[in-house]
């Protein structure tokens, strides 16, 4: 007789979820946090608290968390230095009728770190900051069309790409409808395939004189192909287009000056959010003076963009990232993580490997396409069963540099890989899945 497998008690999480279903369409605000994107019945749904790289859920289960709040947590949850700076700011007042000197200090810091930054504006979220950058590009060029590659948020200018024949199917999860996006925007946002300079040039030629911006994620987990970003830069110059790097998700882990520091290719504008403030809402658009100075004449204005809590959090976060030499730490952590994943793969015979740059890798299963959703589900399910929140894509934070967290993760991953290898070998993946299939997550064009 086989012993039934351990299953965590998620009673309270599931009760709260039922209440949420009646009140909150979709139950969460960020699609990636929806319980249907994890292993429902195995993964935690409602958090009680978090510290370092550990989350405790409302049922009292503790998990090693590798999602880092879907990117924003870079130093670890409840980081003492960042939180002390935030609390000190709260004690002085979070926002005023006038501005605070710290807004200038943060601008000075960003200009020192980011090669192409000469002027700075702030926002609160990544999608909002991308929208600001696109508005700036349209404002300075007097043109309307935008070429895009990657994910840039939920706003109309971006989802307009899904109104016409040029679909975002390769950028977003399939089947997304641009519901509520004005049909008049059709043809204003045109996606291009990352890595394909010919297609980009075709689009620029076909829409010559009409394109305001090329906005792209310069990388995700893989370094850009040799010469690619320089090719994009050259095309942007040739066609008089503003080049925008969206570093909302790739920013701060690989280099503090952005992908431009690593590749030497500088955009006109760069968008940062998420990890720049270790979990407090904050975003920035930085760029060349010639592109940024005209912003003073554009109507780009919002009350909370002068909030000092996000600025205090950013100053403290970036200060800590510099002090600990975060890119070197993530590089070292990534090498240790990869060694453990590869060892677990070899020990279990599971067809899986860790790919991408050490500081921001992914776990990739080399299985036929018809198995990939099942394998992804089993991986999340079995990891959660062993107290680890981990899927193929994840974000390091500095608190992962912890032997116990790495040991526990390696143990969980070995157990998960064994189950997957067994399911593949005996062709019985379906029998091993005890939850709904994890909904397809963003299909990333940029690896």
Ligand X SMILES: Cc1ncc(COP(=O)(O)O)c(C=O)c1O
Residues that bind ligand X (CB under 6 A): 125-127, 130, 150-153, 217, 246, 248-249, 273
Concatenate the DSSP letters of all residues of 287-304 into one string: E-HHHHGGGGGS----GG
**Shortest distance, position 446 Cβ to ligand X, whole Å:** 8
Q: Residues 77, 399: contact at Cβ < 8 Å? A: yes
Which of 246, 307 has the CB closer to ligand X? 246
Q: Residues 330, 358: contact at Cβ < 8 Å? A: yes
Chain centroid to CA 394: 9
Q: Which of 286, 165, 267 is nearest to 216 (CA)?
A: 267
**Shortest distance, position 445 Cβ to ligand X, whole Å:** 11
**Shortest distance, position 274 Cβ to ligand X, whole Å:** 6
Which of 138, 444 has the CB closer to ligand X? 444
- Start-end of H helices in 183-288: 197-206, 228-238, 259-263
Structure-token pair, residue 322: 């510099």
Q: What angle do CA 259, 261, 263 make, to 5 degrees?
A: 65
| Closest residue to ligand X, based on beta-carbon distance | 126
Which of 168, 406 has the CB closer to ligand X? 168
Which of 217, 307 has the CB closer to ligand X? 217
Which of 152, 233 has the CB closer to ligand X? 152
H or E element: which one contains 313? Answer: helix 308-323
**Shortest distance, position 280 Cβ to ligand X, whole Å:** 12
**Shortest distance, position 447 Cβ to ligand X, whole Å:** 13
**Shortest distance, position 252 Cβ to ligand X, whole Å:** 13
Which of 89, 277 has the CB closer to ligand X? 277
**Shortest distance, position 157 Cβ to ligand X, whole Å:** 12
Which of 14, 31 has the CB closer to ligand X? 31
Which of 244, 390 has the CB closer to ligand X? 244
Which of 77, 239 has the CB closer to ligand X? 77
HSE value, Cβ hemisphere, 13 Å, CA-based, for 77: 18
Which of 224, 423 has the CB closer to ligand X? 224
For the chain, how big is the Rg over CA atoms in Å? Answer: 22
Distance separating alpha carbons of residues 244 and 214, to the nearest angstrom: 6
Q: What angle do CA 395, 401, 404 make, to 5 degrees?
A: 110
**Shortest distance, position 411 Cβ to ligand X, whole Å:** 30
For residues 246-279, b (16+ Cβ closer than 10 Å) or e, as one string?
bbbbbbbbbbbbbbbbbbebbbbbbbbbbbbbbb
With the C-alpha atoms ordered 229, 230, 235, 237, is the resulting torsion angle positive or negative?
positive
**Shortest distance, position 58 Cβ to ligand X, whole Å:** 24
Concatenate the DSSP letters of all residues of 152-183 into one string: --S-HHHHGGGSSSS--TTTS-TT---TTS-G
**Shortest distance, position 74 Cβ to ligand X, whole Å:** 14
């Amino acid at each position: 007789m086989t012993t039934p497998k351990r299953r965590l008690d998620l009673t309270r999480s599931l009760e709260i979820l039922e209440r949420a279903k009646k009140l909150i369409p979709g139950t969460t605000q960020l699609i990636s946090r929806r319980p249907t994107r994890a292993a429902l019945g195995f993964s935690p749904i409602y958090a009680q608290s978090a510290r370092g790289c550990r989350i405790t859920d409302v049922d009292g289960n503790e998990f090693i968390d590798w999602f880092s709040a879907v990117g924003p947590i870079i130093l670890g949850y409840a980081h003492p230095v960042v939180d002390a700076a935030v609390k000190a700011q709260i004690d002085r007042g979070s926002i005023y009728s006038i501005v605070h000197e710290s807004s200038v200090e943060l601008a000075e810091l960003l200009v020192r770190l980011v090669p192409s930054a000469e002027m700075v504006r702030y926002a609160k979220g990544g999608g909002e900051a991308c929208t600001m950058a696109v508005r700036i590009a349209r404002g300075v060029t007097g043109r309307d069309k935008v070429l895009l590659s990657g994910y840039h948020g939920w706003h109309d200018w971006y989802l307009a790409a899904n109104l016409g024949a040029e679909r975002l199917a390769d950028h977003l999860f399939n089947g997304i409808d641009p519901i509520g996006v004005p049909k008049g925007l059709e043809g204003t946002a045109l996606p291009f395939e990352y890595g394909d300079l010919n297609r980009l040039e075709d689009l620029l030629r076909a829409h010559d004189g009409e394109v305001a911006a090329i906005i792209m994620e310069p990388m995700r987990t893989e370094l850009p192909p040799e010469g690619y970003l320089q090719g994009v830069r050259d095309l942007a110059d040739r066609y008089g287009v503003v080049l925008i790097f969206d570093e909302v998700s790739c920013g701060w882990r690989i280099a503090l000056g952005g992908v431009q520091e690593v590749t030497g290719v500088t955009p006109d504008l760069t968008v940062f959010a998420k990890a720049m403030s270790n979990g407090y809402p904050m975003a920035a658009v930085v760029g060349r003076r010639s592109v940024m100075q005209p912003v003073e004449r554009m109507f780009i204005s919002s009350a909370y963009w002068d909030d000092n809590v996000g600025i205090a959090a950013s100053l403290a976060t970036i200060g800590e990232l510099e002090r600990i030499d975060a890119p070197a730490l993530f590089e070292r952590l990534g090498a240790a993580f990869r060694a453990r994943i590869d060892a677990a793969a070899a020990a279990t015979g599971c067809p899986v490997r860790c790919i991408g740059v050490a500081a921001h890798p992914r776990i990739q299963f080399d299985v036929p396409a018809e198995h990939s959703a099942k394998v992804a589900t089993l991986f999340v399910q079995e990891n959660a069963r062993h107290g680890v929140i981990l899927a193929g894509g994840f974000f390091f934070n500095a608190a992962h540099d912890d032997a116990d967290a790495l040991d526990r993760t390696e143990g969980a991953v070995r157990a998960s890989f064994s189950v997957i290898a067994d399911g593949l070998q005996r062709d019985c993946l379906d029998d091993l899945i005890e939850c709904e299939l994890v909904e397809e997550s963003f299909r990333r064009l940029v690896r």
